[in-house]
Amino acid sequence: MEYVFSDKTKRLTFILMGVGLLSILLGFFLGGDHASQRVWTSILISGFFFFGIALASTFFLALQYAAEAGWAVVFKRIFEGISAYLPVAAITLILVFLAGTFHLHHIYHWMDPQLYDPASEHYDAIIAHKEPFLNLPFWWIRTLAYLGIYIWFTRLFRKRSLEEDGLEPTNRSFFVKNQTLAAIFLVLFGYTSTTFSWDWIMSIDTHWFSTIFGWYIFSGMWISGLVMMSLLVIYLKSKGLMDFVNDSHMQDLGKWVFGVSFLWTYLFFCQFMLYWYSDIPEEIIYFKARIDDYTWVFWGTFIINFIFPMLLLMSKDAKRNAGFMTFVGCIIFFGHWLDVFMFVTPGAMKDHGHIGLVEIGTFLGFLGLFLFVVLNALSKRSLLVKGHPYLQESLHHHIN
């Protein structure tokens, strides 16, 4: 059950990366008035999207340990493979943040020091009021702390997993240790996923705030991660490398995709409805910018990410059908990329944003980078863990 990262596949990922690099360069030189802003925006969109997928994978792995769930042990190497992208994702995000700090782009409007200076004509009382939290040094400390925590936990999970391969399945020492680790991670993740959503995404629309925003971002990350896991498993299974994964595993993964799609919709609607209902100018501005200037993308995202999985993934047979799951998975995947597009673009580009060559090209480039790192990590070890105490339970997983 060894996955070999063939030269052909490698070449494909390099081509994707080349397309990405080319669209970034073309965007810089031929992009017109908002060229640099547009390119950085699209790097942030795709960078954050794939960061979310990698992080969701570590989260999901930790969740299996904390819940003492046995069924997903056959997917453990997939989780580890996807989360191997986390350090690379951190670098891409840090690049965007550095560029912002040095004013190469103005996605983060609040990074402009004049806003905090009462003598300046650009003085913004609302943003100045947020200064104790939203100032560059503290923001950078938080950013590095989040990334550091996530990468440290991910690497520790991976290290223990490789060591566990040499142990007897009756040896539960690593399992118990990992449970503690997972519990600590989930608590940290619970707080930091909310605060990084404020810091990296919500602060783009600096005046606006939403208390449920962290959950909304988190649910989007989670569903994108689950779709990525499903697609990877389907791909590897079609190559005959994951024959130990049976229909029941696929159905359970499909259930997660189905269920978390609802979680996302629920949070989307929670946030939307309360603002829509109260209709307070300083709050509704966020949705006004989106619904007025990006009508089709905004509602299209909602329809793609809610109606599609609801209607198409409801039945048991649909979840077990690889072709069907691939079709729905690709659509949801793109839908959640659009969702991230919706987080960033209206704030960063005002009404000048659109989905064109730069955005799609950058997305493809990041996809290539992501696939290269993930497939490379998967090819390092056997696709099935060896010493996990719940391995047999997972191999015999059966539901009706």
7 vs 317, beta carbon nearer another protein: 317
Between the alpha carbon of residue 7 and those of residues 4, 189, 370, 373, the distances in Å are 9, 37, 16, 14
Contacting another protein (CB under 8 A), which of 314, 356, 382, 393?
Answer: 314
Tell me which DSSP letter residue 239 carries: T
Residue ranges in 313-356 assigned as alpha helix (H): 316-320, 322-349
117 vs 393, beta carbon nearer another protein: 393
Kindly give, in sequence order, each residue whose CB lies less than 8 Å from that of residue 86, ignoring residues fewer than 6 positions away. 51, 54, 55, 58, 150, 151, 154
76 vs 397, beta carbon nearer another protein: 397
| Rounded least distance, CB 398 to another protein, Å | 7
| 281 lines the binding site for another protein (CB under 8 A) | no
239 vs 398, beta carbon nearer another protein: 398
Contacting another protein (CB under 8 A), which of 7, 33, 121, 279?
Answer: 279
**What is the per-residue DSSP string for 32-43?**
-TTHHHHHHHHH
Tell me which DSSP letter residue 215 carries: H
Site size toward another protein (CB under 8 A) is 11
8 vs 398, beta carbon nearer another protein: 398
| 216 lines the binding site for another protein (CB under 8 A) | no
**What is the per-residue DSSP string for 72-115?**
GGGGHHHHHHHHTTHHHHHHHHHHHHHHHHTTS--SSGGG-GGG
| Rounded least distance, CB 40 to another protein, Å | 34
170 vs 400, beta carbon nearer another protein: 400
| 400 lines the binding site for another protein (CB under 8 A) | yes
Site for another protein in 246-275 (CB under 8 A): 269, 272-273
33 vs 279, beta carbon nearer another protein: 279
Site for another protein in 78-137 (CB under 8 A): none
| Rounded least distance, CB 128 to another protein, Å | 32
| 277 lines the binding site for another protein (CB under 8 A) | yes
| Rounded least distance, CB 93 to another protein, Å | 34
| CB-based contact 275:283 (threshold 8 Å) | yes
| 296 lines the binding site for another protein (CB under 8 A) | no
Kindly give, in sequence order, each residue whose CB lies less than 8 Å from that of residue 328, ignoring residues fewer than 6 positions away. 257, 308, 309, 312, 313, 318
**Dist. CA 221–CA 162, nearest whole Å:** 26
94 vs 263, beta carbon nearer another protein: 263
| Rounded least distance, CB 259 to another protein, Å | 15
| Rounded least distance, CB 316 to another protein, Å | 8
3-state secondary structure of 382: strand
| Rounded least distance, CB 282 to another protein, Å | 16
277 vs 296, beta carbon nearer another protein: 277
The token duo for 325 is 């799951």
Can you count the helices (H) and strands (E) in the chain?
15, 0
Identify the CA nearest to 247 among candidates 145, 114, 397, 142.
Answer: 397
Site for another protein in 317-356 (CB under 8 A): none
| Rounded least distance, CB 124 to another protein, Å | 30
Residue appearing with tokens 């959640």: 336
Kindly give, in sequence order, each residue whose CB lies less than 8 Å from that of residue 43, ignoring residues fewer than 6 positions away. 24, 92, 95, 96, 362
| Rounded least distance, CB 39 to another protein, Å | 36
**Dist. CA 332–CA 360, nearest whole Å:** 16
Please report, as ranges, the residues that interact with another protein according to CB under 8 A. 269, 272-273, 276-279, 314-315, 398, 400
